[in-house]
Structure 1
Amino acid sequence: MANLLNPFGAEYLDDPYQVFKAARADARAHYSEDLGYWILTRYEDIKQVIRDTVNFSADVANAPLQPFGPPVMEELAKVDFRRVSVLVDNDPPSHVRVRRQVNKAFNAQRVKLMEEPVRELVRQHIDRFADQKEVEFVSALAWPLPALVLFRLFGMPDSYLDVVKNGSADRVILTTGRPDEQESRRAAKGLAEFYALCRQLIVDRLADPRDDFPSDLIRAGEGQEEPLSPVELTQVMYSMLFAGHETTTAHLTHLIRRVLLVPGLWERLREDRSLVPNVVEEALRLEAPVINWRRRAKHEVEVAGVTLPADAKVLLLLGSANHDEDIFEHGDELRPERHNARSHLTFGFGAHLCLGAPLARLEGRVVLEELLDRFASPCLPGQGLEFTPSVLFRSPKALTITL
């Protein structure tokens, strides 16, 4: 069974949820010799590991699946790339210190004020393809929108779009894929340019604070016993600029595809908009953009009926947990009235709950509402979907919609 749990295999890339279903039925835990990870399949076991910061460390969350080779290190050295733990790969008490300052800057009020700017951006993008018979949804809306939303928050010009989007895609390839030497060197150049941009953003705001998130993040450290250092500030920007759009691009694409796959649901949502928020949650549950996540056992510990040795690396199948039949009845179906749709683990749980969850939910809701307003009965033509092989992420490269 562990051989099928191969994120780079054709069967997994085609439909990981059938692979997950078989894995759940077979065992709560599997060991993959190929990946060098223990793999957990069930909701309760995965939730237990995520919230247990005593027995499990988050320090492997951002670690590359395969060590960076000399070509990558050469490119990163050119921009003095420094990887420090700040958010998803940080453990208490250091995580608490960083998260407290980030929360102060990235607060609910700032996200709430984003709805109208998000809606205006969505309308502008829809206007560009509204008269077409077909649209490739990823390039037309899902790819640019989340980054442009972040630019409004971070005080960045739209001209940085390609650097941020392409650099983030290169980060996925380098840290969660298995690129060859040529692809590694190419991706390293994009990642280095992205990191250098994040550092320059912090340098600029330290010299000239403004009314934006990076400036608020710097101000959040004022009066603190241990404010974030320039390197930590850069890493926060590098982390949030990546996570805040890369996964949301996937979320928007999965959301619209899943809605269009359910006969009659589009027309029903046009008549009853009260169902939209829960449908967004159902799409997040059914298609987690971060389909797997990682932890490391700090010492020997028992979980999922097996004893993990100290330093064991653990792969948490979030996509499997979200379909677990013990938690979600008919878990493979999108059900607009599902009472526990929001119980999914797509945004994690506990201390490391995703910072950007409110913004991702907002963008999903607004995009769906605006598309419902403009198009009476879109549909999906026959097509195959292509995904970048990754141990953590799942995002369609393209999605054609007949308008």
Structure 2
Amino acid sequence: MTTQSTSNAAPATGRCPFAGGAGNEFSFFKGGYQQDPAGSLSWARANEPVFHDEETGYWVVTRHEDVKKVFSDSASFSAAITLAPVTPPSQEAGEILGKYAFGPTPVLVDSDQPVHRKIRRLNAPVFMPENIDPLEGFIRDTTNTYIDRFVDRGHADLIADLLWDLPCLIALEFLGVPDEDVDTVRLLATSMTEFLWGQPSPEDELRAADGLGKFWAMGGRIVEKLKELENPPGWIGHTIKLQREYPDLFPDSYLQTNVMGGTMAAHETTTNATANALVTLLRNPEQWDAICRDPSLIPSVVEECLRHSGSVVAWRRKAKTDVEVGGTIIPEGAKVLMVIGSANYDEQVFDAPDDFDPERPNNGEHVAFGHGPHMCLGNHLARLEMRVFLEELTRRLPGMRLSDQEFRYMANTSFRGPEELRVSWDVAPAAARGSADA
């Protein structure tokens, strides 16, 4: 992670023949992108699949095949800017971060080969199913504890009442720091999203920078506490043990950065992915009713939800050399944004992509977790959480329906999930399906 950002203007020779058309009206921070990322870029997939966005300075890649190419081609594209701010920070914001001695180090998500290959191999055991699956009991019990708090009410905001805390609690358990304050961690992680992937106002930028600095300081405190233990738990504990064997590969700054990135990745994306899935299912009540009747359908529903309404809608790279993508030359040094949410609606790969179809034969071809050497290591944990959440909500609240509402989203390039999700149900049958029935 870095607070430096390099602007790359688009040379005339690199522009597509359609440049100057619909792309001039497009924005990642206003308009339809937050509500419907794929729909807002349908013009690009059809006519200008790789275009230069003047507002951000990024080359935008929108088709499935091209997104996979950028993800896979580590010889031509660097991951180094993955956690750099999309909007270059002001001097004042930099000074705030300086007060916290903010000094992150490349970790799994933003390291390049051959270092990435080595640290991925060393971290991979923590993410293997045999180490993730034992969390299922904790996930299920905690889910029911939260549902118990509102099941008799007949209505809820599933973000505030369930999904604000639940994935964060699971993330902290997985990381090995279950005693951290959930509200504080969640708010600081939100500051990270806003600062790194948003376009905040000057006032909001300074507030987000302060939150990011506090997040960094919290990471340092957690690392120091766990380093005092002979056998520290969780993923952070695992990296501390790796540090003892490979001190040059895993300095303290790596551990501290990993607390921030790991916390944010392990809960922010799952909160949003589950919320998006619930919105999609409740907008398609026949599909919701189907999984209420037959929970064995849930794994395939999860895959289609990840394709249809995933939480990570874009990711970033930097071109190491002039490279052709989708018939366009992206120049050396250019910043690249692969829009996953658009790729998952590519009509050349998915028939009738706007339709929500859990029986779609190739829904597993989505790129919700990326592709290639950087494919998300945490995908098994995310799928497990989403499956358990849906199993328990369909079991206990089968009559749940969406309340009238307008969904609001944080304006940013890469993460999408509603700020509120209001639902209601008939109390009597819901209460009859208590957690003791599990």
With the length of structure 1 as denominator, give the TM-score of the two structures. 0.96
Question: In 2 relative to 1, CA 9–105 (structure 1 residues): closer, same or farther, beyond 3 Å?
Answer: same
For 1:82-93, list aligned pairs within 5 A: 82-93=103-114
- Residue 283 of structure 1 aligns with which residue? 305
Aligned-partner residue type, residue 381 of structure 2:
L
1:29 aligns with 2:50: yes
Which of 384, 391, 396 is 1:362 aligned to? 384
Contact 1:101 1:221 in 2 (8 A): no
Contact 1:4 1:19 in 2 (8 A): no
- Residue 98 of structure 1 aligns with which residue? 119
Q: CA–CA distance in 2 between the matches of 1:117 and 1:19?
A: 39
Post-superposition offset of 1:76: 1.6
Contact 1:163 1:193 in 2 (8 A): no
Question: In 2 relative to 1, CA 275–202 (structure 1 residues): closer, same or farther, beyond 3 Å?
Answer: same
Post-superposition offset of 1:306: 0.8
1:107 aligns with 2:121: no
Post-superposition offset of 1:352: 0.6
Q: CA–CA distance in 2 between the matches of 1:33 and 1:227?
A: 38
Contact 2:50 2:62 in 1 (8 A): yes
Q: CA–CA distance in 1 between the matches of 2:187 and 2:213?
A: 11
Q: CA–CA distance in 2 between the matches of 1:49 and 1:26?
A: 19
Question: In 2 relative to 1, CA 223–177 (structure 1 residues): closer, same or farther, beyond 3 Å?
Answer: closer
Matched residue SS, 1:14: coil
Matched residue SS, 1:401: strand
User: Residue by residue, what CA displacement relative to the aligned partner does 1:78-109 show, whole Å, maximum 9, x if unpaired?
Assistant: 22111221111111112122222222344332
Aligned-partner residue type, residue 391 of structure 2:
E
Post-superposition offset of 1:222: 4.5
Contact 1:105 1:217 in 2 (8 A): no
Matched residue SS, 2:317: strand
Structure 2 unpaired stretches of 5+: 1-21, 426-438
- Residue 41 of structure 2 aligns with which residue? 20
Question: In 2 relative to 1, CA 225–216 (structure 1 residues): closer, same or farther, beyond 3 Å?
Answer: closer
- Residue 176 of structure 1 aligns with which residue? 197
User: Residue by residue, what CA displacement relative to the aligned partner does 1:281-332 show, whole Å, maximum 9, x if unpaired?
Assistant: 1111111211111111101111110111111111111001001111111111
User: Residue by residue, what CA displacement relative to the aligned partner does 1:182-239 show, whole Å, maximum 9, x if unpaired?
Assistant: 2112112211111111111111222223333222222234444844111111112221
- Residue 429 of structure 2 aligns with which residue? none
Contact 1:71 1:184 in 2 (8 A): no
Q: CA–CA distance in 1 between the matches of 2:74 and 2:366?
A: 20
Which piece of structure 1 moves more, 14-23 or 350-359? Answer: 14-23
Aligned-partner residue type, residue 273 of structure 1:
P
- Residue 398 of structure 2 aligns with which residue? 376
Which of 331, 335, 357 is 1:309 aligned to? 331
Contact 1:148 1:158 in 2 (8 A): no
Which piece of structure 1 moves more, 103-112 or 30-39? Answer: 103-112
Contact 2:80 2:112 in 1 (8 A): yes
Post-superposition offset of 1:134: 1.4
Matched residue SS, 2:400: coil
Matched residue SS, 2:221: helix
Which piece of structure 1 moves more, 107-116 or 311-320? Answer: 107-116
Matched residue SS, 2:407: coil
Matched residue SS, 1:264: helix
Contact 2:67 2:343 in 1 (8 A): yes
1:55 aligns with 2:76: yes
Contact 1:42 1:320 in 2 (8 A): yes
Structure 1 unpaired stretches of 5+: none
Post-superposition offset of 1:69: 1.7
Identical pairs, percent = 34
Aligned-partner residue type, residue 224 of structure 2:
V
- Residue 160 of structure 2 aligns with which residue? 139
Which of 330, 333, 337 is 2:359 aligned to? 337
Contact 2:172 2:180 in 1 (8 A): no
Post-superposition offset of 1:63: 0.9
Post-superposition offset of 1:14: 3.3
For 1:97-246, list aligned pairs within 5 A: 97-209=118-230, 210-224=232-246, 226-246=248-268
User: Residue by residue, what CA displacement relative to the aligned partner does 1:247-295 show, whole Å, maximum 9, x if unpaired?
Assistant: 1110110111111111311221122222100101111111121111111
- Residue 318 of structure 1 aligns with which residue? 340
Post-superposition offset of 1:125: 0.7
Matched residue SS, 1:201: helix
Which piece of structure 1 moves more, 135-144 or 7-16? Answer: 7-16
Contact 1:275 1:337 in 2 (8 A): no
User: Residue by residue, what CA displacement relative to the aligned partner does 1:319-351 show, whole Å, maximum 9, x if unpaired?
Assistant: 010011111111111112122112110100111
Q: CA–CA distance in 2 between the matches of 1:218 and 1:225?
A: 9
Aligned-partner residue type, residue 155 of structure 1:
G
Q: CA–CA distance in 1 between the matches of 2:128 and 2:250?
A: 17
Matched residue SS, 1:294: strand
Aligned-partner residue type, residue 310 of structure 2:
A
Which of 406, 410, 418 is 1:396 aligned to? 418
Q: CA–CA distance in 2 between the matches of 1:178 and 1:36?
A: 13
Q: CA–CA distance in 1 between the matches of 2:387 and 2:421?
A: 19
Contact 2:369 2:375 in 1 (8 A): yes
1:262 aligns with 2:322: no
Q: CA–CA distance in 2 between the matches of 1:141 and 1:264?
A: 24
Which piece of structure 1 moves more, 55-64 or 97-106? Answer: 97-106
Matched residue SS, 1:74: helix
Aligned-partner residue type, residue 20 of structure 1:
L
Q: CA–CA distance in 1 between the matches of 2:234 and 2:33?
A: 41
User: Residue by residue, what CA displacement relative to the aligned partner does 1:165-192 show, whole Å, maximum 9, x if unpaired?
Assistant: 1111111111111112221121122111
- Residue 273 of structure 1 aligns with which residue? 295
Q: CA–CA distance in 2 between the matches of 1:225 and 1:133?
A: 54
